[in-house]
Structures are given as structure tokens and as C-alpha cells.
Copies of this chain bind each other. A is one copy, B any other.
Amino acid sequence: MSDYVFYIGYVAAACTSMSFLPQAIKVIKTNDTESLSIGMYSVFTFGVLCWLLYGVVLMDWPMIIANVITFTLAGIILALKVKHTFFTKKITKTP
């Protein structure tokens, strides 16, 4: 199999890992997580933790590195969503 196939894999891994960076920056800047789904971020973060564990068992470093990045970013977003959902009083928006 030619090398270009692996480039597709690298591009895919880079995109799906790094994509959570703009979302993390957005929630940190705006402090707004209203339209984010807590269900999505709970299941997704747990799933990424499983991928990380899978990478550790296989000792696959690209998989470990990609999932550490994704886990950190998704974890930040989830933590802020949990904080806003359970520990912050709702403020009614006024014009």
C-alpha cells in the first residue's frame, strides 16, 4: 500500500483531535455552554479515555498523543458545561 493512505490517516487524526481547540477557546472566552449537550460531552470524553487506554495497551504512541490532546480539550469543555449546569445560578438574559 502506498504512503498516501497513511497521510489520509494522519490528516484525519490531526483534524478530529485539534477540532476541539476552537470549541474549548470559545467556551473559555464566552463562558457560554448553553447549546452544548452534556450528554454528548460525557459520552465523548469517556470514549476518548477508552481510546487512550486502548493506545496505552497497544503502546501506539500516535494514538496516545492524539487522545491525550482530545481528552484534555473535551475535558475542559465538559468541566465548564457541568459547572454551568449544576453549580451556576441561571441568569435571565435582559436586553
Query: How many protomers of this protein does the assembly include?
Result: 2
Q: Is A47 an interface residue (CB 8 A)?
A: yes
Q: Contact mask A39-51 → B, CB, 8 Å, 1/0?
A: 1111110111011
Neighbour of A43 across the interface among B22, B30, B44, B93, CB < 8 A: B22
* B34 A34 Cβ-Cβ under 8 A: yes
Neighbour of A32 across the interface among B18, B21, B23, B34, CB < 8 A: B34
Q: Is the interface of A mostly helix, strand, loop or mixed?
A: helix
* A35 B37 Cβ-Cβ under 8 A: no
Q: Is A82 an interface residue (CB 8 A)?
A: no
From residue 56 to 95 of chain A, which have CB atoms closer than 8 A to chain B?
57-58, 92-95
